[in-house]
Amino acid sequence: MARIKRLWLLTVTATDSYAGTHAPLRLEIASHNGERVWDDLGDPRQNDRERGQTGCQELVLSEADNLDDTQIKEIRLRIHDAHDAWMPKSIWVLSENVDGEIKLLSANPDWNSWFDPESRPGYALCLLPQ
């Protein structure tokens, strides 16, 4: 049981027509200590969510986030733009705890489904046992 100090959201966008987006993403993690939300993931000026591209967003957590790597109940992701959609091919969430241990929290290698503005409260990602 250790506090998470860093998260990575890794994505690969599908190659279908209109699969890409410049819209920011919202990552939500529910744990036994409450819920943490990170808005506006990624730089919309980058092409990391265009068709066929790989993206990596790094989140550095503070002690105040108090997110424990064994207490996560759910990870959700959604597009943060009311006028766009996005089709990821794969989605992965990794963490590094304060002891330097890196864990794969969520693996969705064959997602291939659209994210759209109606994704409330977000799409639940496949959570791996810890």
- CA torsion, ordered 49, 50, 52, 58, to nearest 10 deg: -20
Mention every residue, 6+ apart, whose C-beta is less than 8 A from residue 29. Answer: 35, 36, 67, 72, 74, 75, 76
The two structure tokens encoding residue 80: 């943060």
DSSP string for 69-107? TT-EEEEEEEE--TT--B-EEEEEEEEEETTS-EEEEEE
Q: Specify if 129 maps to a domain.
A: no
Whether the predicted pLDDT of 62 surpasses 80: yes
Number of domains the chain is built from:
1
Which residue do the tokens 């967003």 mark? 57
Query: Is 8 strand, coil or helix?
Result: strand
Note whether 122 and 36 are within 8 A (CB): no
The CATH number of whichever domain residue 15 belongs to comes to: 2.60.60.20
State the residue range of the domain holding 77. 4-124
Q: Specify if 113 maps to a domain.
A: yes
Which residue do the tokens 């990391």 mark? 48
> From CA 42, how far away is CA 65, in angstroms rounded?
20
pLDDT tens by residue, 8-45:
999 999 999 999 988 888 899 998 888 888 887 777 66
Q: Specify if 130 maps to a domain.
A: no
Q: Specify if 81 maps to a domain.
A: yes
Q: Is the pTM above the cut of 0.75? A: yes
pLDDT tens by residue, 65-123:
889 888 899 999 988 776 788 899 999 999 999 999 999 999 999 998 888 877 656 78
